[in-house]
Chains A and B, each alone.
Chain A
């Protein structure tokens, strides 16, 4: 399976600031995804990061709040903009390997004060 890394692994940020999370894969993949996991909750899909085009956002998530880049087939970033304490979550990226299975990165634990 693909090896996926995320940076940073954790961060503590002040409200009103922005944080960019990086996701790096050790092989080229067709699809990458970003999820949010709020404390004590399950995973919620934020968006699909499309290479060479705009990300596709799920209902309840907008580009102004969560801009995503996908410059190539091994890398993507998610920015959490104008943060509030409600954005405190674990943010996870995943990749689709082959045609059918998603593999997840270790996650970025974000705390907003």
Chain B
């Protein structure tokens, strides 16, 4: 399964877009990219996932580069409640197990 690399921490001003990058340079063609977030030791919350096309839902947008080696999660208008640890995960093609990396701690600043 591909490993992911994320910056350990980021800040974002309230109301601005938060752009969280993730590198997954060893991803293979049929592996999906997932994003979860964890707010203060609660259970992780599913945000979005995609294969190669950009995806958007009510929470966020996911932009995957054409070579699929990296992706960006976009929170369009960050609020204080978006302060959390964000995990980028590449789901293995051989099973349904998710292997979490270290994630990015996002702090939204008033």
Interface size on B, residues (CB 8 A): 20
Asked if residues A43 and B46 are in contact (CB atoms below 8 Å), the reply is no
Inside 8 A of B34's CB, which chain A residues have their CB? 101
B32 and A104 form a contact (CB under 8 A)? no
**Which residue of B32, B43, B91, B101 contacts A92 across the interface (Cβ within 8 Å)?**
B43
Cβ–Cβ contact B44 & A90, under 8 A = no
Shortest beta-carbon distance, B42 to chain A, in Å? 6
SS of A interface (majority):
strand
Are A42 and B49 in touch, CB under 8 angstroms? no
Residues in B neighbouring A67, C-beta threshold 8 A: none
Tell me which residues from 74 to 110 in chain B have a Cβ below 8 Å from any Cβ of chain A.
87, 91, 96-103
B-chain residues with CB within 8 Å of residue A109 when the two chains form the complex: 41
Whether B97 lies near A105 (C-beta < 8 A) is: no
B41 touching A107, Cβ below 8 Å: yes
Q: Is the CB of B98 within 8 A of A90?
A: no
Enumerate chain A residues within 8 angstroms of B91, measured Cβ to Cβ.
100
Which of B45, B46, B91, B101 is packed against the most chain A CB atoms within 10 Å? B46
Complexed CA–CA distance, A85 and B34 (Å): 33
Could you say which of A42, A58, A96, A106 contacts B102, with CB atoms under 8 Å apart? A42
Cβ of A20 within 8 Å of any chain B Cβ, yes or no, is: no
A100-B96 Cα distance, complex, nearest whole Å: 7
Are A104 and B45 neighbours in the complex by a CB distance under 8 Å? yes
Assembled-state Cα–Cα distance A92/B44 (Å): 9
Residues of A close to B42: CB separation below 8 A: 106-107
Instruction: Give chain B's interface residues, CB within 8 Å of chain A.
Output: 32, 34, 36, 41-46, 49, 87, 91, 96-103
